[in-house]
Amino acid sequence: MQVGDWANAAINLVIGVLLGSAADGLVQLATTAFWPLAVVIPLLFAGVFLFSWVLDMLTDRLFTIGVRPARTPKEEGRTPLLRLLSLPVGLVLGVALARLGLDETILGAI
C-alpha cells in the first residue's frame, strides 16, 4: 500500500464511523414516537442528492470546456484490501460505539 492508500483508508474509516453513528440515531428515531422524522430525513437527503446530480449534469452540458478524454486510459492496479474494507469496518465501528453511548463523545471531538 502507498501513502495515498493509507490516507484514503483512514478517511473512509472516519466517514464510516460518522455514518454508523448517524444510522444508529435514525434507528433510534424510528423506534420512538419520532418515526416520521426518521422517514423524512432520508427523503430530504435523497432530494438534495438528486438536485445536486441534475444540477451537475446541466452545468456539464452548458459549460463544456472542450477537453477530450485520453484515448488509452491508464491501467490501474487492484485496490488494496485494507482500503476496500475501511468504510464497512468504520460503519460497524460507528454503530458499536453509538450503542455503547460514545457517539456524543465522538461528535464532540469533531
Q: What is the pLDDT of residues 62-97, one digit of tens each?
A: 877 767 767 777 777 888 898 899 999 999 999 999
Contact 91, 20 (CB under 8 A): yes
Give the residue-averaged pLDDT of 11-32: 90
- pTM given for the model: 0.69
The CA distance from 53 to 36, in Å, is 26
Give pLDDT, residue 37.
Answer: 86
Residue 15, CB-side half-sphere exposure with 13 Å CA sphere: 11
Give the residue-averaged pLDDT of 23-50: 90
Give pLDDT, residue 52.
Answer: 96
Give the residue-averaged pLDDT of 96-106: 86
Give pLDDT, residue 59.
Answer: 86
